[in-house]
Chain A
């Protein structure tokens, strides 16, 4: 099986083409928001993103951040949630609100013939959401139910514990809402939070679709002109990430698998070393051909979907490697993962494997950015991190510049077994053999 080579008849593809976004129009509105418009008339739709700094990084409780997110589709004084939903459907529209550790983003879309109406609708939500008490009570009940269901999964307690271990008291470590916080957050608190959060001077607007940039700017000005707010900005404090060499084991009696997550903090998008850090992480666990996939799945059959990725925050990039393995092979699987981490940190990645991983990352990006929605979301993300569209176009060159030495250096610095903080969630019968790898600290998961 190994050592075999594919037939010479396999047609050879060319290099992955460079990404060209075409004309990108940058501007700003008089009241502050920076605007980027990219015409992409593939289908008669328009995608809109409006982002503001928000969330636990701003010192808000995770519950308040989450309720602000859930409260926006509840409408305004003039337009209740059902009227809002009806209007959106009339426009062939959709509305979602996302919240990550640093930012809240309203993601909306409509048929391009309804471009103006879409902007006015979203602007009304940005300016004057109402959070009616009765409707808010329903959202709070949904959030509590969602938290209870999430706590019943093995993944939620794993990520909650990892956040606490890696970030300590930093806001990034407090990412999960508690039921107590949900109960204490009312309409008045949300109105106040909205007032502080939705500041036009810090907002970023992204439009991608079947649009004419000039008329788009005119329409945005008309829709968002009445938006005012404080000019105060903030950013999460610097991260001083911690590493825990012992293994944290969380009890989940009767679990038929163990969830294993190992994480490490490194440079975020745009910072020196980020590309090497994310390339190393992709060699470890990105795509079909990664080392975790080849070893833990395709060779050992321990797990279905082992993977590793870097999540980019304002203040750091968090690499995490995760897998779900049947209980009896927990220690063996973790030993293999640590073996792969050590190998990455001590031996250069062979050039062919590195080229495959680069191409995989480049191709995946090309495909993601091919749709109006994918491009709008990617632009909103990099802009949020203080970068611009050129970062998306430059990415490929930077990947190609990144050598096997760079990757090994990044792996040694950020992904060596001693740099990773590891949490396991499973039945206690997973424990035998773990002590041989590292000291094990054992506790129950937190309650709600």
Chain B
């Protein structure tokens, strides 16, 4: 059996400006491009009550111009420098990034500092982006079979408190009620330098970059520290089941969600490996048993925060989700029972040492592939910095995974992936479900 090879990654360094901005740098100079990312510690969970979907709507407003760089110049400037840009909103952070030629590094820093310091929030752009976001919801959720499936709907049934169980894309009535004042308040509360991590990766000289960062971000005024929010959830005592009818779905699917082990707890990394062992590839437990041997399912996939995140992208309560497509004629109830049996078996017997070894090798390979991409490197560093304040952990993970034992995986599965803790979402063909 081959040994886990040590990684040869670029060095990660970090420092903090006086206004509270955390800066993380990881140079890698083999090709003349840089990645710049700003990760704000605000996501779906912190949007105000009555304003579901607001964190994501606000993300759109960050591209709508500032007093110094009015709409539509932000995108034009980045594109004309040969750069790519985008943003995305998740449970506990919102990310903005540019990948561009090295010579445009300072421009990107200027633009990110500019929109951190002062945004032009007005009724015209708010109205425009409200319409754009509603079209985004229509294309991704309302006009598709299985639209939003487990990522959007399962948590609404699995959790009991607003931060965790509301519609993260937003009810249209809430989106339409959003005002300029709401946006100003949200920006003031959550978009200050002390609530953000700036990440630089790629082809730059670290000493020169420190100067540029200080020059552009140093003058951004600090804002009051955001209040701590209680996100905690009671663990459920019995299985919850929900049926959702989808007039566009040709066949049934089912998702099962289990509250998963918190980041940094003893079960956290064992469950991350359990996700690989259970669902990743044709040699995984569930594919082997339920797709090939018992022929109950066509597809099965899952893991912590699946399908829009991974084991590291959350700070509060999160679901370990398993999605399955039963074969024609197999009721979703039978699929869930079969899943329960397999999880019991894994908890009772644990994976073999070889299975665990393969899961670690997959993690190592994924680590290298992610490191090779500017956006991949930027995102893993940004998430670990903004959400957990431990960017250096990114390069330590392969070693941490190497220390997990089969018994730890079995125990973690036995503690967390239990039927009585789970919420089941039966997604069935038919009219009249809770589509909104």
Contacts and interface: CB of A to CB of B under 8 A. Distances in A.
Interface string A144-186: 0100110111100000000000000000000000000000000
Nearest to A111: B365
Interface in B79-114: 79-85, 99-104, 106-107, 110-111
A391 interface: no
A436 interface: no
Contacts of B328: 141, 145
Contacts of B288: 82
Contact of A45 (B2, B250, B369): B369
Contacts of B139: 257, 304-305, 324
B48 interface: no
Contact of A94 (B2, B104, B365): B365
B132 A301 contact: yes
Interface in B269-289: 281-284, 288
Interface in B102-137: 102-104, 106-107, 110-111, 124, 127-136
Nearest to A16: B82
Contacts of A78: none
Interface stretch (A85-93, A222-230, A269-277, A415-423): A85-93
B138 A256 contact: yes
Interface stretch (B180-188, B221-229, B370-378): B370-378
Nearest to B282: A85
Give the contact-size bracket for chain B. Answer: 35 or more
B82 A86 contact: no
A371 B373 contact: yes
Interface stretch (B66-74, B308-316, B338-346, B405-413): B66-74
B110 A9 contact: yes
Contacts of B213: none
B173 interface: no
B84 to A, nearest CB: 6
B143 interface: yes
Interface stretch (B26-34, B257-265, B384-392): B26-34
A366 interface: yes
Interface stretch (B11-19, B156-164, B189-197, B356-364): B356-364
Contacts of A256: 138, 142-143
B251 interface: yes
A396 B101 CA distance: 14
A25 B250 CA distance: 50
Interface stretch (B36-44, B234-242, B292-300): B292-300
Given A82-B292, A289-B75, A367-B99, A362 B82 contact: yes
Contacts of A138: 291-292, 295, 298
Interface residues of A, number: 84
A44 B77 CA distance: 35
Nearest to A12: B107
B24 to A, nearest CB: 19
B145 interface: yes
A290 to B, nearest CB: 9
B211 interface: no
Contacts of A86: 283, 354, 358
Contacts of B247: 254
Contacts of A325: 135
A85 B299 CA distance: 16
A89 B362 contact: yes
Contacts of B369: 43, 45, 109, 371, 373
B250 A287 contact: no
Central interface residue in A13, A357, A360, by most chain B CB within 10 Å: A13
A311 interface: no
Given A14-B103, A373-B369, A43 B68 contact: no
Interface in A350-373: 352, 355-357, 359-360, 362-364, 366-367, 370-373
Nearest to B370: A43
A84 B282 contact: yes
A148 B143 contact: no
Central interface residue in B75, B78, B139, by most chain A CB within 10 Å: B139
A366 B373 CA distance: 12
A364 B361 CA distance: 31
Nearest to A74: B282
B317 to A, nearest CB: 30
A386 interface: no
Nearest to B431: A254
A117 to B, nearest CB: 10
A82 B284 CA distance: 8
Contacts of B268: none
Contacts of A359: 79-82
B144 interface: yes
B283 A9 contact: no
Contacts of B77: 6, 10
Nearest to A209: B372
A301 B69 contact: no
Central interface residue in A85, A92, A111, A352, by most chain B CB within 10 Å: A92
Interface in A42-96: 42-45, 73, 81-86, 88-94
A84 to B, nearest CB: 7
B372 A42 contact: yes
A110 B250 contact: no
Given A6-B68, A43-B371, A373-B372, A113 B128 contact: no
Contacts of A148: 250-251
A162 B384 CA distance: 45
Contact of B131 (A13, A42, A111, A301): A301
A88 B276 CA distance: 14
Contact of A149 (B81, B146, B292, B358): B146
A382 interface: no
Nearest to B63: A288
Nearest to B249: A152
Given A148-B250, A297-B132, A13 B298 contact: no
A86 to B, nearest CB: 5
A372 B107 CA distance: 27
Central interface residue in B1, B101, B128, by most chain A CB within 10 Å: B101
B101 A366 contact: yes
Contact of A370 (B110, B133, B142, B373): B373
A82 B285 CA distance: 10
Contacts of A83: 283
B327 interface: yes
A360 B365 CA distance: 31
A255 interface: yes
Contacts of A301: 127-132, 135
Contacts of A372: 372
Given A43-B371, A153-B145, 15 more contacts: A4-B70, A11-B106, A14-B101, A17-B103, A81-B292, A82-B283, A86-B354, A90-B358, A92-B365, A93-B365, A145-B325, A145-B328, A301-B132, A366-B32, A371-B373
Interface of B: 1-2, 5, 8, 28, 30-33, 65, 68-73, 75-85, 99-104, 106-107, 110-111, 124, 127-136, 138-139, 142-146, 247-251, 281-284, 288, 291-292, 295, 298-299, 325, 327-328, 354, 357-359, 361-362, 364-365, 368-369, 371-374
Q: Identify the 10 closest CB pairs spanning chains A and B, nearest first.
A: A363-B82, A301-B131, A14-B103, A92-B365, A13-B104, A16-B82, A288-B75, A85-B283, A89-B358, A356-B80
18 contacts: A1-B71, A10-B68, A13-B101, A15-B103, A17-B102, A43-B369, A81-B282, A90-B361, A111-B364, A152-B249, A254-B247, A305-B139, A360-B80, A363-B82, A363-B100, A367-B84, A372-B372, A373-B369
